[in-house]
Amino acid sequence: MKLASTVLALIALFSSPLWAQTIPIVGDDNAKPKNWLSEDGTAMGIHIALLEEISNRTGFEFTDELVPWKRALVLSQAGKAAIIGFSKTKEREEHWHYSAPLFFDELVFVARKGHEFEYSGLESLVGRRVGIKSGATYGDDFEEAKRAGHLVAVETTDREDQLRMLVAGRVDLVLLSPGAIALETVIAENEWLREHKDDFKVLSPPYKLDPNYVGFPKTMDIPGALEMINDAIHNMNVDGTYAKIVSAETKTIIDELRSVLAR
């Protein structure tokens, strides 16, 4: 009986969150509404709220470090941390393991009003300059379109700067995500862009829904982590928690945007 009691105690102890692995996470510090830093340096956003629920279900403790995207990539590829807001490509799969999709990004092209055109796929962008986030990729089809010359990618670190370039005619399009809410977010946070809010047009249809994953560098060995995270994501979808979190976080952002843009 004493042995059995000891075994049960050990099982309980090692299954406790106190014994859970701490998993460092990096992500973009300026990707509102998915993830961003508040004025006091707190990690915020849809991804962060979803990770908190995954932590509750798995016992893993996630330490969030949000930094400029290119730096996040460097840190993760060096094996320092898992990474969120991560698109999948064949090249990246050589270096990272992927979770189940954590979020689905609606990718949209934004043009200057009066310079819209009928968007019918990446082939319709031949010769056009597209502003994108530095270090970002949006899947193998996007990389192939760049190689084939269907578009010219112009990388900058700042979404505000991309929209300023669009107004100035230095790029023909800006690729933003997720959807129109991303455009409204950037405009709301910049006085100059608010003055030019009527200069932008989101092209239809959207480019695509791009799955965002948690990427684990292959040099970062945390046994069983991906399986437990995937189980949590699956169960969150089944019991409705996932939809509630995304809906609540999105509503909060939209309410804030309407308040700012109404001023």
pLDDT over 80 (residue 21) = yes
pLDDT of residue 3: 44
| Structure confidence at residue 20 as a pLDDT band (50, 70, 90) | low
pLDDT of residue 135: 84
pLDDT of residue 5: 42
Q: Could you tell me the pTM of the whole model?
A: 0.80
pLDDT one-digit tens code per residue, 162-178 = 999 999 999 999 999 88
pLDDT of residue 200: 96
pLDDT of residue 15: 44
Token pair of 65 as six digits: 């470090």
pLDDT over 50 (residue 4) = no
pLDDT of residue 221: 81
pLDDT one-digit tens code per residue, 50-61 = 999 999 999 999
In the chain the domains, ranked by start, together with CATH numbers, are: 20-104+211-261 (3.40.190.10), 106-209 (3.40.190.10)
pLDDT over 90 (residue 2) = no
pLDDT of residue 70: 92
Range list of H helices, the chain: 2-15, 46-58, 69-77, 90-93, 140-147, 159-168, 179-188, 191-195, 225-239, 241-261
pLDDT of residue 261: 63
